[in-house]
Structure formats: structure tokens, C-alpha cells
């Protein structure tokens, strides 16, 4: 019986344990990972304010930087977008008071809008955070302050996956944020292969971790095939690999 070829799956997570975990997961699913980190973290040295009524952390990286800086939330209600962020907070010894049912800026706004009128809300995150969160909280009557804990930049030399996409050598690609989409396209632009890379993605299975990421990709002409109901990488990878399997693409 002839063995089916393994799927080539590009992943764009930062070059740390997230890429390591992504590679291990994809290999366990029978795929050949194509790691091409499109994000690198540059810490700003800032610390979340400690005089807010609510503090919102949006990522594992933000929690780690706040923890390293010795941040103390005081009596604030601590909110995490997503269970992974909440887990890191709890592992660091912080109590997490709220995790929205929908792991997104929209979901957190929906969870808080009835209770933040007149409250001071601290949002601590990267420089590429969605305005949906801050605008939504302000519309609900909150006094919002944003602290930029880190910047997300494209690593030097990133973009080998764009060449594989342009050559038709990817079966799937997993975008975990709008910024990974933008950085992929910028890397393709630098190589003069953007149109071919997008065409290659459109012949593959493209996964986006949530609606904002899907919209960014769609606006750039990339057809998105998979947007999981749960915004976590394991679900994204599993669903995309299943969709890209030869039996699904005949």
C-alpha cells in the first residue's frame, strides 16, 4: 500500500517555545512543519498601571513581561483574553477574575460593557493591539489607559515560507494574528514574489485563528479555508491539517 505524502504546513509563531510546541504538534498530526517565525518581541520596559479598577492582559508575552517587572494589580479586577493567557497569569501567582467566553477583543468588551461605566481600565498589550477593545470599552463609559509592554517586529531573514508558497510547495499555512499575515506579505514583497505567494496560498489550505486575522488575509486576496470556533493554536492546526489531508482535497 502506497504511503500518502506528508503535508507541508507553514507556521509563523515567534521563535520560542511556541514554535517548538507548534512543530511538535504538527509532527504528531503527521505533517511536515515549515516554521518561519514572523514575529519577534521587543520589550518596552513599561509596566501596567497599578491604580486601575480593571486590568486587561491580552497575551502570554504581556503577562511574562509584567511579571518580570514585578507588577502588582492591587485590588483591580484582572481580565485575560483567552484561557492560555489566564493560565500563565495563574501560574505566576495572580488571581484571574474574568475570562470571556469568546476569546477576542469583542468577547471581552461584551463581558465588561455592563460594568465598566465610569471605571478606570488599564489595557496592557503589544503595539499592534486591536482598537476594537479600547474603543469598545470607551463606548461603554470606561476611562481607558493603554500601556505598550512590547513591540512586535518581523525578524530579519524571515520569509522562506513565501518562496515555498510561490513554488506551490505548501499544503497549508497557519496564521495566528493579522500581523503574521502582514509580515508574510511584506517578506514576499521584498522577494518580488507577492502575487505568486498569494496564488500558492490559495492553492493550499489557509487557517486563520480568528475573525480579525481572517479579514486581514481576505482583504489581501488570500482565501481563508479554516477559522476554528475556538481561538487556540491546537484547534487551528488540527482543523487545517484535517482539511488539507489528501482525502479531503481530491
Q: Give the separation between CA 112 and CA 81, rounded to whole angstroms.
A: 12
Going from N- to C-terminal start, the domains of the chain cover: 6-38+158-242, 43-150
Task: Label residue 129 by pLDDT band (50, 70, 90).
Answer: confident
Section 116-129 average pLDDT: 94
pTM of the model: 0.78
Which letter does DSSP use for residue 30 in this model? T
The residues near 29 (Cβ < 8 Å, ≥ 6 apart) are: 237, 238, 241
Q: Give the separation between CA 163 and CA 158, rounded to whole angstroms.
A: 11
Fold of 43-150: Rossmann fold (3.40.50)
- CATH code linked to domain 6-38+158-242: 3.40.50.10090
The residues near 44 (Cβ < 8 Å, ≥ 6 apart) are: 148, 149, 150, 151
Asked if the model's pLDDT at residue 246 lies above 80, the reply is no
Asked if the model's pLDDT at residue 76 lies above 70, the reply is yes
pLDDT tens, residue by residue, 14-65: 898 889 999 999 999 999 999 999 999 999 999 999 899 999 999 989 999 9
Q: Specify whether the CB–CB gap between 214 and 176 falls below 8 A.
A: no
Q: Give the separation between CA 242 and CA 128, rounded to whole angstroms.
A: 31
Task: Label residue 225 by pLDDT band (50, 70, 90).
Answer: very high
Q: Closest Cα partner for 176 from 206, 150, 202?
A: 206
Q: Which of 197-202's residues contact partners 24+ apart within 8 Å by CB, and which partners? A: 197/162, 197/163, 197/165, 197/166, 198/165, 198/222, 199/166, 200/164, 200/165, 200/166, 200/167, 200/168, 200/169, 200/170, 201/165, 201/170, 201/173
Query: Is-same-fold flag (6-38+158-242; 43-150)?
Result: yes
Amino acid at each position: 500500500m502506497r504511503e500518502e505524502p506528508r503535508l507541508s504546513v507553514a507556521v509563523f509563531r515567534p521563535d520560542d517555545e511556541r514554535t517548538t510546541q507548534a512543530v511538535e504538534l504538527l509532527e504528531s498530526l503527521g505533517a511536515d512543519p515549515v516554521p518561519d517565525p514572523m514575529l519577534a518581541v521587543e520589550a518596552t520596559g513599561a509596566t501596567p498601571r497599578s491604580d486601575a479598577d480593571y486590568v486587561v492582559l491580552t497575551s502570554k508575552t504581556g503577562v511574562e513581561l509584567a511579571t518580570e517587572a514585578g507588577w502588582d494589580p492591587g485590588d483591580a479586577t484582572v481580565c485575560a483574553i483567552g484561557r492560555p493567557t489566564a493560565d500563565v497569569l495563574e501560574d505566576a501567582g495572580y488571581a484571574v477574575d474574568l475570562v470571556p467566553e469568546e476569546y477576542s477583543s469583542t468577547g471581552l468588551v461584551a463581558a465588561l460593557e455592563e460594568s465598566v461605566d465610569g471605571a478606570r481600565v488599564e489595557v496592557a498589550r503589544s503595539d499592534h493591539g486591536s482598537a476594537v477593545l479600547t474603543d469598545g470599552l470607551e463606548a461603554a463609559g470606561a476611562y481607558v489607559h493603554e500601556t505598550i509592554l512590547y513591540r512586535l517586529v518581523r525578524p530579519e531573514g524571515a520569509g522562506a515560507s513565501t518562496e515555498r508558497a510561490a513554488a506551490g510547495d505548501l499544503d497549508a499555512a497557519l496564521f495566528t494574528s493579522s500581523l503574521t499575515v502582514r509580515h508574510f506579505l511584506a517578506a514576499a514583497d521584498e522577494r518580488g514574489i507577492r502575487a505568486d505567494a498569494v496564488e500558492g496560498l490559495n492553492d493550499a489550505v489557509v487557517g486563520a485563528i480568528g475573525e480579525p486575522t481572517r479579514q486581514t488575509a481576505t482583504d489581501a486576496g488570500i482565501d481563508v479555508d479554516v477559522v476554528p470556533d475556538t481561538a487556540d493554536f491546537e484547534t487551528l492546526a488540527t482543523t487545517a491539517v484535517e482539511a488539507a489531508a489528501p482525502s479531503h482535497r481530491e
